[in-house]
Amino acid sequence: MAGPALTVDFNDPANTSVPNIWFVTQGTTFKPNEGMKFLWAPKFGKDDLPRFYWENVKDVNRGDFIFHYANKAIQGISIATSNGHESPDPNDNSRWVKNGYRADVRLISFDPPIPIAKIADHKAEFQQRLRTIKNKPFTTAGNVNQGYLYEFSPEAGKLIREIYGKPFGREQIDAFFDQITTEEMESPLSLPDVLPTIHHCHAYITAKGFRYQYEEIANFYLALRTKPFVILAGISGTGKTQLPRKFAEALGFSQEQVVQVAVRPDWTDSSDLLGYTALDGNFVPKDLTIAIRNARKQKDKPFFFILDEMNLARVEHYFSDFLSVIETRERKNGSIETDPILRKESFDTSKNRDEFDAYGWPQNLYLIGTVNMDETTHAFSRKVLDRANSIEMNDVDLNWINPAETVPSPVSGIPNAFLETPYLTSAELSEMDKQNLHYGMDLLQKVNHILQKADLHFAYRVRDEIAFYLTLNQQHELMDTITALDFQLVQKILPRIHGSSERILTVLIELLNLLETMHLKTEGFEFSQVRKQLSDERRYPRASAKIEFMLQRFDEDRFTSFWL
């Protein structure tokens, strides 16, 4: 039954013709028994910085609708009875800031409230209906983000009413949601949930008799999704090639979706990989160009291109075209496009040049290179290392693995959206994303300050790609933040360090002191100090183990490098 009329007049010119929808997360400030008459947020935090979810209060218009979340449930919906405006704290609490923003509201309580578990049951559909909202109140796992007032969409509000199972009880609110249509929206069921899918991939690969930790599978996925160029490095026989092949198999890739090409030591330019103009005047495409052509024909499917032992030849010589083109990615017409990967001089006189002159790097093609780091191969330049996640695979456990009697079925119908990156530039990170990155970015600032002492510091590309990796990890809750940071330190930062100068020694010692809160001294350094002070319980176990190895190598050889 509809309740008594509210004081909001939708015919009042002061009201917007279409109400905005908001979602507020509250704790002790949710007091329906005391009237719940307003929203209020401070202007600044204890750090003297504003928050977008506090500033949203001043953007509330009279007549807007606000969903109220508190005590692990959506408790009701209110109508704003005033515009947002500056106001002192109406609670007169002893806060760090007395002044803030206020919007008056009239609450309609839900009976019963909607538990957050029901939101999690519809998490994929909420993500779809909130796809146009930059800062969302829900994580992809269906949890509520920390904050205060978030923008919400009418379609998501209608989904809340569908979950509620009955009208909200106010004529003007229900009439508004009645006219919201969602039939033309793309089905969210085409994109599987990331966390259970990665666990399924790990179970599938393990059942096949391969030894990879869950975190290694999650890390490989995040690296691919951060940027479509990943390097798998390590000694021979550790499963570098099998990881992408079995990962693709677990995701139900067809044989044509996985191409593997062995690099030859005599490659000195891109013709052996991309193609050349033959004597008959036609351009002859080679393996990578053919893979690009196939990926362009099926844009909804992901494709893997595996370059096996890619550093048998100098990568910068035969692969320089890719290294340059991958940095030209930009969004055009709803898709990611790049400059052409084939230089015009490669086929300018070819009879069939029109077929290939627009070949950029497709957004559904992922390049995975495997490398052995020994005396028979070439080292990587910083140009290569800056453009990829370099995943080292040297851990070996020779104990037998018994394959499972039954192997889980591969996932079917994986779309490219499951692997495609949502970020190309830091401008695409939301304010909430950046706030969630505060700890990681603070650590990177300190790390970069240390690296600068040896002219090894990194710039915006590395920072942004680490930020994308950490953000995706937080969204899908694949690993804890420290574990994700540990992977990124080893994959994006430490490979830059090599040399024989005292500055290199200083950098390694100071990094270890920073990461593990140690107090090693650079003057008169002896490696035995590391063993004495380094605890078995390490905050960054992968990074500290690699730094320990590099320090030992420096102590023994007066030279060190990330690579074996």
Any idea which residue has 């590309």 for tokens? 461
**Residues 353 and 212 placed together within one structural domain of the fold:** yes
Secondary structure class of 305 (helix, strand, coil): strand
Is the pLDDT confidence value at 357 over 80? no
User: What pLDDT was estimated at residue 5?
Assistant: 40
**Residues 546 and 441 placed together within one structural domain of the fold:** yes
Give domain status of residue 303, yes or no.
Answer: yes
- pTM (predicted TM-score): 0.76
- In which band, very low, low, confident or very high, does the pLDDT at 85 lie, cut at 50, 70 and 90? very high
Secondary structure class of 249 (helix, strand, coil): helix
**Residues 348 and 202 placed together within one structural domain of the fold:** yes
**Residues 371 and 440 placed together within one structural domain of the fold:** no
Q: 3-12, 93-102, 246-255, 351-360: which range is least confident on average?
A: 3-12
**Residues 239 and 363 placed together within one structural domain of the fold:** yes
Q: How many CA atoms lie within 13 Å of 314's alpha carbon, on the beta-carbon side?
A: 7
* Rounded CA separation 399/186 (Å): 48
Q: 125-139, 164-178, 251-265, 294-308: which range is least confident on average?
A: 125-139
Is the pLDDT confidence value at 296 over 60? yes
| Mean local confidence (pLDDT), 492-515 | 95
**Residues 268 and 336 placed together within one structural domain of the fold:** yes
| Mean local confidence (pLDDT), 532-554 | 92
Give domain status of residue 400, yes or no.
Answer: no
Name beta bridge partners: 79. Answer: 65, 106
For the chain, what percent of residues have pLDDT higher than 90? Answer: 54
Range of the domain at 322: 194-392
User: What pLDDT was estimated at residue 403?
Assistant: 67
| Mean local confidence (pLDDT), 530-549 | 91
User: What pLDDT was estimated at residue 15?
Assistant: 45
| Mean local confidence (pLDDT), 177-192 | 65
- Higher pLDDT among residues 43 and 23, named by residue: 23
User: Are 68 and 76 within 8 A, CB to CB?
Assistant: yes
**Residues 176 and 198 placed together within one structural domain of the fold:** no
Residue 493 is given by DSSP the state I
How many domains does the chain contain in total? 3
Is the pLDDT confidence value at 508 over 90? yes
Q: 47-56, 270-279, 337-346, 430-439: which range is least confident on average?
A: 337-346
Per-residue pLDDT reduced to its tens digit, 381-422: 878 888 899 999 877 777 777 767 788 889 887 899 899 998
* Rounded CA separation 19/13 (Å): 13
Give domain status of residue 455, yes or no.
Answer: yes
**Residues 167 and 260 placed together within one structural domain of the fold:** no
**Which of 132, 152, 186 is where one domain is finished?**
186
| Mean local confidence (pLDDT), 7-20 | 55
* Rounded CA separation 320/323 (Å): 5
User: What pLDDT was estimated at residue 185?
Assistant: 56
**Residues 260 and 176 placed together within one structural domain of the fold:** no
Residue among 132, 119, 152 nearest 24 (CA): 152
User: What pLDDT was estimated at residue 243?
Assistant: 95
User: What pLDDT was estimated at residue 96?
Assistant: 62
User: What pLDDT was estimated at residue 346?
Assistant: 65
**Residues 355 and 479 placed together within one structural domain of the fold:** no
User: What pLDDT was estimated at residue 498?
Assistant: 92
- Higher pLDDT among residues 340 and 259, named by residue: 259
**Which of 163, 186, 209 is where one domain is finished?**
186
Residue 223 is which amino acid? A
User: What pLDDT was estimated at residue 93?
Assistant: 62
Give domain status of residue 412, yes or no.
Answer: no
User: Are 467 and 426 within 8 A, CB to CB?
Assistant: yes
Residue 36, CA distances (Å) to 75, 78, 274 in order:
12, 9, 66
**Which of 392, 409, 438 is where one domain is finished?**
392
User: What pLDDT was estimated at residue 373?
Assistant: 74
- In which band, very low, low, confident or very high, does the pLDDT at 187 lie, cut at 50, 70 and 90? very low
Give domain status of residue 13, yes or no.
Answer: no
Is the pLDDT confidence value at 443 over 90? yes
Q: What's 76's domain CATH number?
A: 3.10.590.10
Residue among 362, 301, 365, 354 nearest 337 (CA): 362
Q: What's 303's domain CATH number?
A: 3.40.50.300
Give domain status of residue 146, yes or no.
Answer: yes
Per-residue pLDDT reduced to its tens digit, 87-105: 988 876 656 667 899 999 9
- In which band, very low, low, confident or very high, does the pLDDT at 66 lie, cut at 50, 70 and 90? very high
User: What pLDDT was estimated at residue 184?
Assistant: 54
User: What pLDDT was estimated at residue 4?
Assistant: 39
Residue 379 is given by DSSP the state P
Residue 57, CA distances (Å) to 38, 54, 88, 107, 130 in order:
10, 6, 13, 16, 19
Give domain status of residue 5, yes or no.
Answer: no
Query: How does the average pLDDT of the chain come out, rounded?
Result: 87
**Residues 153 and 203 placed together within one structural domain of the fold:** no
| Mean local confidence (pLDDT), 146-153 | 92
Give domain status of residue 52, yes or no.
Answer: yes
**Residues 172 and 204 placed together within one structural domain of the fold:** no
| Mean local confidence (pLDDT), 518-541 | 88
Q: 7-11, 118-122, 464-468: which range is least confident on average?
A: 7-11
Residue 142 is given by DSSP the state S
Q: CA gyration radius for the chain?
A: 28
Strands 229-233 vs 365-371: parallel, antiparallel or unpaired: parallel
